[in-house]
Amino acid sequence: EEGEGGKVPPAKFNAQDASEWLSARYSSVMEEYDKQKQSGKKGDIQHFSDLNAERSAWTGGAKPIIPPKDDFLHQLQVSMTLYQQRKDDPK
């Protein structure tokens, strides 16, 4: 069936198919991983922690989001002071 303007409407998302595909994919990857683990060979499958060990947000390797000199409270106070000055100054 064609929709308006001769375009074919997109297929609806089928959650059952997606669930089955994900389950099958997970099973096949885990089987491959177990085989590789039992053989003792390093292959294509690696541990996620090995791939991103140097850039983890939960370890000491992460860069701070806010510079150490200006913490959030200080930045907020400076911003509020500037806002109040601008608000109180007649134009």
pLDDT confidence bin for 45, thresholds 50/70/90: low
Residue 33: DSSP 8-state? H
In this predicted model, what pLDDT tens digit does every residue of 62-82 receive, in sequence order? 555 656 666 778 888 889 999
End-to-end CA distance of the chain: 64
Q: Decide: helix, strand or coil at residue 82.
A: helix
pTM exceeds 0.75 for this model: no
Give the separation between CA 57 and CA 64, rounded to whole angstroms: 9
